[in-house]
Amino acid sequence: MNKRLSALAAALLGVTLLAGCDTLQQAPRAPEPTYDQARISNFTTANYAAATELMKRFQGTPSTNNFDASSGASPFIVATLVNIDKLEQSSTFGRLISEQLASRITQLGHNVVELKVRNSVFMKRNEGEFLLTREIKEVATAHKAQAIVVGTYAEASDYVYVNLKVVNPANSMILGAYDYTLPMNKEIRRLVTISR
């Protein structure tokens, strides 16, 4: 009798454990994002708003080069945003923001040169100052660009701090600037860590 009870107890325990495993396996999944949610992405909205504000600040600044900033005829160049602590490095985050800035500046009626160069276009530090590389100056001269949009981002535990500048390619003078902050959520953390 004891053997039968022990076998029955073992069988019941096995069934209970299997039922528990089945319950764990069928835990509800988080719902997948929808097309409507993607259409109103806060990430894109924030970057578009930053581009709009940056161009407003640039238009309020007199140009120091030979091009008429108000005509919109001379193009802009948008450089890849770089990590402020590693100015030779960027990430999917920096490249994506640059693409969205270029899109928004174009939507605002300005000409933008499409740059798809290997390693893209970066800024480099020289004796404590930020100077544009010779390559980007050459590209700006070749395209008669009126200005270059450059930027950096800094990672913190809860936020990513983004700095944008419109720079005169002839003398590296800043013609307009704008700073904004994005939340370090799961989506942005992944973008920052990809392809450093």
**28-65: per-residue pLDDT in tens?**
787 888 888 888 889 999 999 999 999 999 976 555 44
Place of tokens 């270059």: 148
| pTM strictly above 0.85 | no
Distance (Å, rounded) from C-alpha 50 to C-alpha 165?
A: 11
Domains belonging to the chain, first-starting first, are: 42-193 (3.40.50.10610)
CA distances from 101 to 44, 133, 157 (A): 9, 20, 25
**69-90: per-residue pLDDT in tens?**
455 578 999 989 999 998 888 8
Phi and psi at 141, nearest 5°, equal -65, -45
Distance (Å, rounded) from C-alpha 88 to C-alpha 119?
A: 9
Phi-psi region of 135 (alpha: psi -120 to 50; beta: other; left: phi over 0): alpha
